[in-house]
Amino acid sequence: MLPAVNLTVILHQTRSPENLGAVARVMANFGFSRLILSDPSTYAFRGAERLAVKGESVLERMAVAQNLPEALKECVYAVGTTSRTQLEGRTALTPEEAVARLAEQSQRGRVALVLGSEQRGLSNEELAFCTDFLVIPTSEVQPSMNLAQAAAVLLYLCSREGRKPAEAAPLPPEEQGARMGTVNALGERMKQVMLEAQFLNPQAPEHVLRELERSLLRAQLTQREAELWLTAFKHLGRAMGGGKGTPGKGAP
């Protein structure tokens, strides 16, 4: 089961008021209401109301985040969308597989469906902030889907998953999953300490760091466990002299 209240739809770098309005309408169609715009390409969205038929309440409650990590900070799991089937070291999920994982992870807290901009979708760097990514199978004649159309396909599947009976009771608060904002904060603290220890390459630390963060997300830490790891790295950083990075060979 995928509770509608636990699903957040994130539109990253949206530029079209028409698409925003159409997505809001689709969300209303299928009973979803939590929408976040991440680093929108424009704030001139007045025309969105025209296409958001009976989805005006979605637009009224819509939040805006400066970047993707900020948009994801309250979520425990995120799946991004792309038309590319392979990313280095990662395999695409089908829409059905992705929705099943959203449903499973929604028992631990809020989950996110992330859609990229109309012009270029989500980059590899942006997809690195997502736990998984999915590809909607399309014809080679036109492999790229319109933003609102892709949202309609995926939200229909999410709605169908939401109508299934729950297989297990939601976890109690003390066992809720680690929020991605806490994991990102842990990643930043790890970065400082591992630069100081000369484990990371100071010229390009992000690649290895994102791998480590994804492994923490796959481990399905509770929020308390993530906070304990964060506290431990804070103490370790202080013991090493502040955790400030120093040049070194480090990992590639």
Size of the chain in residues: 252
pLDDT above 90 (res 208): no
pLDDT above 80 (res 143): yes
Q: What's the pLDDT score for residue 240?
A: 85
Residue 80: name the closest of 113, 33, 117 by CA.
113
Mean pLDDT of 139-159: 93
How far, in Å, CA of 67 to CA of 61, rounded?
18
For residue 178, give the amino acid letter. Answer: A
Q: Which two tokens stand for residue 235?
A: 């103490």
Chain segment 84-109, per-residue pLDDT in tens: 877 777 889 999 999 999 999 999 99
- Neighbour tally for 188: CB within 10 Å: 15
Whole-number mean pLDDT of the chain? 89
Q: Is there a contact between 152 and 24 (Cβ–Cβ < 8 Å)?
A: no
Estimate to the nearest angstrom the gap between the alpha carbon of 21 and the chain centroid. Answer: 21
Q: What's the pLDDT score for residue 252?
A: 42
Q: Is there a contact between 117 and 123 (Cβ–Cβ < 8 Å)?
A: no
pLDDT above 60 (res 244): no
pLDDT above 70 (res 249): no
Q: Which two tokens stand for residue 5?
A: 């209240």
Residue 174: name the closest of 232, 109, 231, 111 by CA.
109
Query: Taking the model in full, what pTM does it have?
Result: 0.84
Q: Which two tokens stand for residue 163?
A: 């109508």
Q: What's the pLDDT score for residue 179?
A: 94
Q: What's the pLDDT score for residue 248?
A: 44
Which range of 40-54, 66-80, 115-129 scores highest in mean pLDDT? It is 66-80
Least confident of 14-28, 114-128, 159-173, 178-192: 159-173
How far, in Å, CA of 71 to CA of 160, rounded?
25
For residues 244 and 113, which has the higher predicted lDDT (pLDDT)?
113
For residues 59 and 43, which has the higher predicted lDDT (pLDDT)?
59
Estimate to the nearest angstrom the gap between the alpha carbon of 170 and the chain centroid. Answer: 21
pLDDT above 70 (res 181): yes
pLDDT above 60 (res 243): no
- Neighbour tally for 82: CB within 10 Å: 22
Q: What's the pLDDT score for residue 251?
A: 44
Q: What's the pLDDT score for residue 168?
A: 60
Element (H, E) at 111: strand 110-115
